[in-house]
Amino acid sequence: MRDESPVLLVKTHAFGDALLCTPVVRELVESREAKYWVLTGQSAAAVWERFPGIDRVFVAPVPPDSGIGGSLNLARWSMRNRKILKSVKDSFVFQGSPAIRRWVRYLTGSAVRSSGGVALGKWEEVFPMVSTDYAGYSYSKTAGVTPENWRSVFPVREMESNWVSNMRLPEPLFAIAPGGGKNPRDTVLEKRWFPERFSIIADRLISAGFNIVLLGGIDDREVAQKMKQQCRTVVLDMTGRTTWGQTAALLDKCYGFLGADSGTAHLAAARGIPSIVLFGPSSPGTLFAEGLINPVQGNVDCSPCYSNSLFPGCVRERAICMDAIETEMVWGALQKVINENYGS
């Protein structure tokens, strides 16, 4: 018999980080019959609002906007929703922020299991993240379940698939995400590769018979424009023009994906698209389960310089870790992936 006291699952902030939690949440929902609620923020809401087995999603204004107005908005939201959240039996917080963990305790009064470092009280049990481990392992310990499949979950809705079908896109299609590096928690533009190098790769793919679609958010439009200006041929630019669901549906039509470590890269991996992901400041082993992507890294002593935490800032004038990723390295990885998946 299903327990009607809700279990609250908490993952706020970045879209890609939320996707990292989904294999564990899928295992939890499928293995333990209960009513599951999710507490999240605007950026990650798209992950949970379509997730199978979630009874209710609470979308809070977190992280709050800067200044007193943002804090007041979060306080008002908390007071409006605290009464119903007090019915929560247990809370699983898949992040380490002490502020978020205390906030969840205030909202629910429940026992909390979190990915924090040190317990904030007798009400909390913590399962600290190891900076060199895949983040999903910490989430697994927090939830007390171990997935057999570590691919992230992001179902595409029928209306999104139909939208793409009605576009009558050229085939074969290859996706490139030239931006990334910005989310509600952090801005790490050092994650980005260079537009002129993306344009070289795009021209080679077009010469090989592919059509190129550019993907990303509104913050990626400027870098996408720079890349397009340096391409010899026309590419389809969809940056800033699609929802996450529409982006996933577009990816389903693609033979492959190329981009830096970003939410779009996590989405491509979730949809099972053969993906080449470029890494500089961050490490593929902490952010993607083994075998889900084909990582390309530059060989420099200072990389990676951070994992699942706030970016400490680059000690160089230029992100030499991304500069060390040469076009021939990327082109070689692309050829290998295309040949392995679709033949020569």
* pLDDT recorded at residue 234: 80
Extents of the domains making up the chain? 3-143, 161-342
pLDDT at 164: 97
For residue 279, give the amino acid letter: F
pLDDT bin (cut points 50, 70, 90) of residue 344 is low
Per-residue pLDDT tens over the stretch 73-84: 999 999 999 999
The per-residue pLDDT for 183 is 76
pLDDT for res 181: 83
Question: Distance between CA atoms of 74 and 86, rounded to whole angstroms?
Answer: 17
pLDDT in tens, 160-198: 999 999 999 999 999 999 999 887 667 888 899 999 999
Which 3 state secondary structure label does DSSP give 93? Answer: strand
The yes-or-no verdict on residue 106 having pLDDT over 90 is yes
pLDDT at 16 over 80: yes
302 phi-psi bin (left φ>0, alpha ψ -120 to 50, beta other): alpha
**What's the whole-number mean pLDDT along residues 268-279?**
97
**Cis peptide, bond prior to residue 63, ω within 30 of zero:** yes
Residue 190's pLDDT is: 87
Classified as helix, coil or strand, 15 is helix
DSSP characters over 118-164: S-SSTTEEE-PPPTTS-HHHHHHHHHT---S------PPPHHHHHHH
Q: Name residues whose C-beta falls within 8 Å of residue 55's C-beta, 6 or more positions apart in sequence.
A: 6, 35, 36, 37
| Residue 130 pLDDT > 90 | no
Share of the chain above pLDDT 70, in %: 97
Please tell me which residue, 102 or 315, carries the higher pLDDT value: 102
Cα 326 to Cα 324: distance, rounded to the nearest angstrom? 6
CATH tag, 3-143: 3.40.50.2000
CATH superfamily of 161-342: Glycogen Phosphorylase B; (3.40.50.2000)
C-alpha separations of 187 from 11, 84, 190, 194 in Å:
19, 34, 9, 17
| 3-143 and 161-342 have identical folds | yes
How far apart are the C-alpha atoms of 137 and 100, rounded to whole Å? 20
As a whole number of angstroms, the distance between CA 268 and CA 152 comes to 10
Over residues 210-220, the mean pLDDT reads 96
Quick: pLDDT tens for 25-40: 999 999 999 999 999 9
User: E strands within 210-334?
Assistant: 211-214, 236-237, 254-260, 275-279, 294-297
Query: What value does the mean pLDDT of the chain take?
Result: 93
- Cα Rg of the chain, angstroms: 21
pLDDT for res 3: 59
Among candidates 278, 255, 274, 285, which has minimal Cα distance to 329?
278
- 82-91, 255-264, 312-321 — which is least confidently predicted? 312-321
CA distance 103 to 115: 15
Percent of the chain residues topping a pLDDT of 90: 80
- Angle among Cα 50, 42, 103 to the nearest 5 degrees reads 105
Please say if the pLDDT value at position 205 is more than 90: yes
Give residue 21's pLDDT. Answer: 96
- pLDDT at position 341 is 85
Q: Residues 6 or more apart from 135 whose CB is under 8 A from it?
A: 17, 20, 129, 286, 287, 307, 308
Give the tens place of pLDDT for each residue, 235-271. Answer: 999 999 999 999 999 999 999 999 999 999 999 999 9
Number of helices and strands in the chain (H, E): 13, 12
Cα gap 274→253, rounded to integer Å = 12
Whether 208 shows a pLDDT value over 90: the answer reads yes
Please list, in sequence order, all residues whose beta carbon lies within 8 angstroms of the beta carbon of residue 147, skipping any fewer than 6 positions away: 23, 24, 26, 27, 136, 140
Distance between CA 268 and CA 180 in Å, rounded? 13
What is the spatial distance between Cα 131 and Cα 180, in angstroms, rounded to a whole number?
22
Q: Name which residue leads in pLDDT, 1 or 37.
A: 37
- pLDDT over 80 at 309, yes or no: no
The DSSP secondary-structure symbol of 30 reads H
> What are residue 239's DSSP bridge partners?
none
Q: Does residue 254 sit in helix, strand or coil?
A: strand
